[in-house]
Structure 1
Amino acid sequence: MLNTAITPFKTKLNSPLTKKGITILQINLGKRCNLACTHCHVEAGPKRTEELSPEICEQLIELIHRFPEIKIVDLTGGAPEMNYGFKPLVEAAKATDKQVIVRSNLTIYFEDGFGDLPEYFAQHQVRVVASMPCYLSDNVDKMRGTGVFDGSIKALQWLNQLGYGKDPSLILDLVYNPQLPTSEKFSLAPEQSNLERDYKVFLQEHFGISFNNLFTITNLPVGRTKMYLERKKLYASYLQYLESHFNSGTVEHLMCRDQLSIDYMGNVYDCDFNQMMNLPAQSYNGETLTAAKFLEAGSLDLISEVQTAAYCYGCTAGCGSSCGGALV
């Protein structure tokens, strides 16, 4: 039999994965979404109802106001725009001169009650990071649902008309992630700058679309991706593949080191993947943390070491992977 053992990620590192100063507050507003993508690590969808409460929203607004070291407020979901507290959080961040990122699926703009979003984003200079796992319609619809590609193209054209991708203050980024594997012929994302060039040429020639950056993100074996890999009996071999491509040069730049990831209940994690796998961040004395505890302490520096797991090999394989794309 093949040896399927995975080296514990902690063992692979020469020293503990320490937390740096916190500059990014990433908030998962909930699991409500108009789509149910096959690769979604959050397992979001139209039937999910979990979302931010008014009480937790107030705590997060207070965190944003109280800590100037937070430079970026990164709003995710589900479709973040569908969940309670979205606009109050955007406005709190803008009032304190922080950059706001919304991780948008684009198609939400065509749902009842959300048609004001592109103009709202432009008015508040929100940075839009949009899922676009391929520039070919068949691949996108296979991963995200029939008609999603056409809706995404219309949304991108709409954003372009408002100045996104052209005006330096209106940043539009796209996110690529590979197709889910059907066999053990695994692959990492292509080289980011080359793929970005291909996307820009294709989308401009065929649809007149401009955007700023392409981020390549590895499929981490978490959420629906993990369930898919387990169904196909590929989970262990995919982890081995990721471990075999471990690149120590990525560790310095890992997103978990300078961010807090907060869920809709106010619990704190080192990253969104740990959040979905229920691996909470821990304080210096091993206590699990909440937004309320940071407010009580009057400090964001309560975590010394990042919590790790086998799926961390996904962020450190090849050129690395993060919410901002390749790491090296």
Structure 2
Amino acid sequence: MVQTPTSKTVAITPFDLQLDRPLTKQKITVLQINLGKKCNLACTHCHVEAGPNRTEELTEEVCNQLIEAIRRFPQIETVDLTGGAPETNFGFKPLVEAARNAGKEVIVRSNLTIFFVPGYEDLPEYFTKHRVRVVASLPCYLAENVDKMRGSGVFNSSIRALQQLNELGYGRNSELKLDLVYNPPIPTSEDKFSLPPAQAGLEKAYKQHLSQHFGIDFDRLLTITNLPIGRTKQFLQRQNLDRPYTRFLEENFNPDTVDGLMCRNQLSVDYRGNLYDCDFNQMEEVSAVDGNGEPLTIAKLLDRGSLDAIETVQTESYCYGCTAGCGSSCGGALSVKREQGTGNREQG
């Protein structure tokens, strides 16, 4: 009897061995801050494992350190606020206002449904006042698929929120940017492993459907691959699919994506002030380190007077998720060229 290989026997090439040179850090221009794990939703694919029962959030001390960094370092062009629902965590508005007063672009990664939670109804107007760029999760333009991933009624609330933002000028005024985020369903079997479809074509389909059925306009669609971390990893492990899925990502490694990886010019900061090369490393607690291997914090960088203390990005096997197919980042696809490896089971 032929025995089917288990998840543990699937061989994965270490990511750093896939590269022809070390993955070096570049000048830091993006400060991405995860304000905490508090959220009004508990999405099945959430790599942060955020939810209504989580209490971890930014402290006043770390918030003040971040504000000092924003003011002190002109090289920071973008302050990217995420969570959890970043709006529900301590320090959200002080960070928005400090960044905008310093002339930085501010991105808020919103789940949209927070607009209808008591105490947060002012957010659309607040976003408009401070000209923040809204990046909102909408993993499909069909209600059934969204509610399956994010909870019953989330699609309808998201549509209402997008309509509110449109009324205020988002997606229609060049100064009020509104982007949506797509990610594929979490696979339930190996024949359902998939990468996001081509970003440009999917964006066209989103725009046509949302405009025709709901009168909604937006600027860009960002496609993001599901990485095997957080709740996605937990689900895949229960199905014995975690290593086969990572192997699938490896098979679709595209070297054209490496130069554009977000980890190269970004600092990711957690609610405790610890530093990481990206939000994914943050969730897996893979710390950013200096040339001597010392883990870094925002306080240490302030003491050193420099944001550029990291020489090499820390990599793990899930980095294949950012480099598979057209690539994946917090800014969407990294390459229009897709290099498909053997065994690609991509679905559109």
TM range (shorter): over 0.9
Q: In structure 2, which of residues 203, 211, 224 is the aligned counterpart of residue 204 of structure 1?
A: 211
Q: Where does 1:1-328 land on structure 2 (aligned, <5 Å)?
A: 2=5, 4-185=10-191, 186-328=193-335
* Count of residues in Structure 1 that have an aligned counterpart in Structure 2: 328
Partner SS, residue 31 of structure 2: strand
What per-residue deviation string (whole Å, max 9, x for no partner) do you get for residues 55-78 of structure 1? 000000000000000000000000
- After TM superposition, give the deviation of residue 289 of structure 1 in Å: 0.2
What per-residue deviation string (whole Å, max 9, x for no partner) do you get for residues 255-305 of structure 1? 000000000000000000000000000001110000000100000110000
4+ residue runs over 2 A deviation: none
RMSD: 0.6
- After TM superposition, give the deviation of residue 254 of structure 1 in Å: 0.2
Task: Supply the AA of the counterpart residue of 1:201.
Answer: Q
Partner SS, residue 109 of structure 2: strand
Partner SS, residue 231 of structure 2: helix
Task: Supply the AA of the counterpart residue of 2:314.
Answer: Q
Task: Supply the AA of the counterpart residue of 2:25.
Answer: K
Partner SS, residue 103 of structure 1: strand
- After TM superposition, give the deviation of residue 201 of structure 1 in Å: 0.2
What per-residue deviation string (whole Å, max 9, x for no partner) do you get for residues 9-53 of structure 1? 011101100000000000000000000000000000000000000
TM-score after normalising by structure 1: 0.99
What is the CA–CA distance in structure 1 between the aligned matches of 2:150 and 2:326, rounded to whole Å?
25
What is the CA–CA distance in structure 2 between the aligned matches of 1:20 and 1:193, rounded to whole Å?
28
- After TM superposition, give the deviation of residue 170 of structure 1 in Å: 0.1
What is the CA–CA distance in structure 1 between the aligned matches of 2:123 and 2:194, rounded to whole Å?
36
Task: Supply the AA of the counterpart residue of 1:229.
Answer: L
Task: Supply the AA of the counterpart residue of 1:196.
Answer: E
Task: Supply the AA of the counterpart residue of 2:292.
Answer: N
Task: Supply the AA of the counterpart residue of 2:148.
Answer: K
What per-residue deviation string (whole Å, max 9, x for no partner) do you get for residues 230-275 of structure 1? 0111101000000000000100000000000000000000000000
What is the CA–CA distance in structure 2 between the aligned matches of 1:146 and 1:41, rounded to whole Å?
20
- After TM superposition, give the deviation of residue 182 of structure 1 in Å: 1.1
Partner SS, residue 303 of structure 2: helix
What is the CA–CA distance in structure 1 between the aligned matches of 2:90 and 2:71, rounded to whole Å?
19
Task: Supply the AA of the counterpart residue of 2:311.
Answer: S
Partner SS, residue 201 of structure 2: helix
What is the CA–CA distance in structure 2 between the aligned matches of 1:304 and 1:261, rounded to whole Å?
15
- After TM superposition, give the deviation of residue 124 of structure 1 in Å: 0.3
What is the CA–CA distance in structure 2 between the aligned matches of 1:219 and 1:206, rounded to whole Å?
28
Partner SS, residue 101 of structure 1: strand
Partner SS, residue 128 of structure 1: strand
Partner SS, residue 36 of structure 2: coil
Partner SS, residue 153 of structure 1: helix
Partner SS, residue 190 of structure 2: coil
Match for residue 346 of structure 2? none
Partner SS, residue 14 of structure 1: coil
Identity score, percent? 67
